[in-house]
Structure 1
Amino acid sequence: MYEISKHQFSRTRSKCAKVINGIVAEQYKILWDYGEELKRTNTGSTVQIEGSGHTFKRLYICIGACKEGFKAGCRPVVGLDGCFLKSAEGGQLLAAIGIDGENYMFPLAWAVVNAENKTNRQWFIELLVHDIGMHNPRAWTFISDKQKSLVDSISQYCEGAKHRCCARHLYSNFTLAHKGLALKNLFWTAARATTVPEWKSVMNELIDISEEAFNWFLEKPPSQCTRSHFEEHSRCDILLNNLCEAKSEARYLKADYAGNHKFEISSRDGLRWSVDLTLHACACRKWQLTGIPCPHAILGMLSSDIGIYEYIDTWYSKETYLKCYFPVIHPMSGPELWPELGKHPLNQPQKRKRAGRP
């Protein structure tokens, strides 16, 4: 077996590092040209590249097809997130996604910034708001983790927009101090509750088990972390039940027709819900939150031989779905065919040492 000395290994690693870093440095030099070529081949794209002097500072991209598809077929809901880049230069990747008719992620815009700070986040939000054409912020909903700088930026540039916290991030914070299966189940039951009385009932159970966990919830605005306080206009609760499961639940309910397309639905344990097919509404609020008839509404329809699919919101139609993906992201040629290559070269950012243990 071939053996390599520590000295040889160190030299080889050093050479590899120089090759890799050299390639990265060359990419920064033609970054401006890449942006111009992207805008030329994909009309309507937003590409903004900024430097500090001649050194790269930040980059924002929203491809024209993504912008057009989002406006044509996605809900007024935007997910925001960020992650640290593991390259030698460090920095952070910021991303914005939409929600299509199938509740899948739709790529919208992204940015690479030299540091995670309030200024860069505000810059990203401001460009994003312009690209999505936000004329009425009150009709929009943003979903993100609980980073204060991000929340402040949304409040500043999207005054009146609704803000939801990612339940996964919230649960990660919650479980740091409040462990156990019972508390876990109550957390998710509270997050999924669709009516205020249902949410309050869970809160009463929670305080009996752990007053500390209850107080943790009280510090969070309900409008950000439980469906029971979500607005209904977005027709998106993210945690969507499919239609087959709704039909399955309807088997255990009883429907009484009241007239004018209204029903009273009752369960075996005496619970009751009012359903109004004309308003596309049920007292449980699941229909209003998702745009898909809940089990109570479905039972009413089935009992009167009324078609179900005509009551599903247009967000879920084939026509709306195709509008998202009709625009085309056009291909680009290689750098050797770009005009004026290297006209505005940028330098590679200095290496950043991240805080904490490597």
Structure 2
Amino acid sequence: MHHPQPDGEVTFDRMYICLSGCKNGFKAGCRPLIGLDGAFLKTQFGGQILSAVGLDANHHIYVIAWAIVRVENTETWRWFLELLHQDLGHYKEHDWCFISDMQKGLISAVKAVMPDVHHRFCVWHLWKNFNKNWKDLQLRGLLWECARATTYQEFRDGMEKIKRLNEDAWAYLEKWPMDAWTRSLFSHKPKLDSICNNACEVFNAKIKDARAKPIITLLEEVRMFVMRTIAKNKVKLQNHTGKLTPVIKSRLEKVRKESKHWKPIWTGDNGYEKFEVHGHPTNHVVDIGKRLCTCQFWMLTGIPCVHACATLSRVNK
């Protein structure tokens, strides 16, 4: 899109790119959590590059779409999100969820284009804003504790501690939607428990040099980076066997080792599926038929938690 000027010159306004391979690959094999972010272009004309970045099955970044705009505001984000929505299909049908920094323009644009969509805020940015007012190390630690909590009780306990230490800090955190920054209230659909928008951070860092170049060169370098990334990851996994990708496999192995410290006790149900799992710091209830555990880790990540692993090894003896 460009604008003619009075003296006949035309200036570049904005451009959106979502390549067919990126779009189809994302829909076919990535988690439905999309990171959104904007980064400055370092040229004399300024401008911003907006991006939508996902994670593939092996937790590598997967760039879906990007756009060049003059400024980052509600109007440009809305334009970008409407085009992305057209490309990826209806958000409710595909269970799309988003994670972003707390840009005001972006939050309202997401609400306008996809009402009621699950939208997480990057806790790193929440923490940075929080840190401007409260530099107390204990408070900062408690904020991260609340964000990482997987059960609502853990989260509320953390918030109570913050309230006792500093009521203003507690009130600041209370004003943000809870399901946007604590794992305990995240949607279970993406099967990703990310509390930071790392995928976008990685993408912005990788194209740092390209952001100082003229627009055509920048766009070409971004396209090449995206193409190379997909090709490189394809080669990495070519000889991999088994259903689980390497990153998930090693994560599950770690959980399995830790599960030895937990003791599952069968509750007596007919299906031999419901167990009470005892251990430190608190006991949990596991239902292997429904793939549920009261710690919520299994539902958040899709990977059995320590309690589920302990139960599964008992059932499979």
TM range (shorter): 0.7 to 0.9
Q: Judge conservation of contact 1:137–1:159 (CA < 8 Å) in 2.
A: no
Amino acid at match of 2:117: A
Q: Structure 1: give runs of 5+ residues left out of the alignment.
A: 1-49, 307-358
Aligned to 2:167: 211
Higher RCO (CA < 8 A, seq sep 6+): 1
Aligned to 1:291: 302
Q: Judge conservation of contact 1:138–1:162 (CA < 8 Å) in 2.
A: no
| Between 253-262 and 216-225, the greater mean CA deviation after superposition | 253-262
Give the superposition deviation at 1:187. Answer: 1.0
Superposed, which structure 2 residues align to 1:194-343 within 5 Å? 194-238=150-194, 242-258=251-267, 259=269, 260=271, 261-268=273-280, 271-305=282-316
Report percent identity of matched pairs.
38
Cα distance in 2 between the residues matched to 1:283 and 1:200: 16
Question: Relative to 1, partners in 2 of residues 1:179 and 1:249: Cα closer, same or farther, differing over 3 Å?
Answer: farther
Cα distance in 2 between the residues matched to 1:56 and 1:161: 32
Amino acid at match of 1:289: L
Q: Judge conservation of contact 1:273–1:283 (CA < 8 Å) in 2.
A: yes
Amino acid at match of 2:279: S
Q: Judge conservation of contact 1:137–1:160 (CA < 8 Å) in 2.
A: no
Give the superposition deviation at 1:184. Answer: 2.0
Q: Structure 2: give runs of 5+ residues left out of the alignment.
A: 5-9, 196-247
Q: TM-score, normalised by structure 1?
A: 0.68
CA RMSD, 1 decimal: 1.8
Give the superposition deviation at 1:171. Answer: 0.9
| Between 146-155 and 252-261, the greater mean CA deviation after superposition | 252-261
After superposition, give the CA deviation of every residue in 1:223-244 in whole Å (9 maximum; x if it has no partner).
1110111111221112699223
Aligned to 2:101: 145
Give the superposition deviation at 1:139. Answer: 2.2
Q: Judge conservation of contact 1:265–1:300 (CA < 8 Å) in 2.
A: yes
Question: Relative to 1, partners in 2 of residues 1:242 and 1:180: Cα closer, same or farther, differing over 3 Å?
Answer: farther
Give the superposition deviation at 1:104. Answer: 2.5
Cα distance in 2 between the residues matched to 1:283 and 1:123: 41
Amino acid at match of 2:183: R
Cα distance in 2 between the residues matched to 1:212 and 1:289: 31
Aligned to 2:37: 81
Aligned to 2:239: none
SS in 2 for 1:115: coil
Amino acid at match of 1:242: R
Q: Judge conservation of contact 1:62–1:108 (CA < 8 Å) in 2.
A: yes
Instruction: Report whether the alignment pairs 1:108 with 2:120.
Output: no
Aligned to 2:226: none
Cα distance in 2 between the residues matched to 1:305 and 1:118: 53
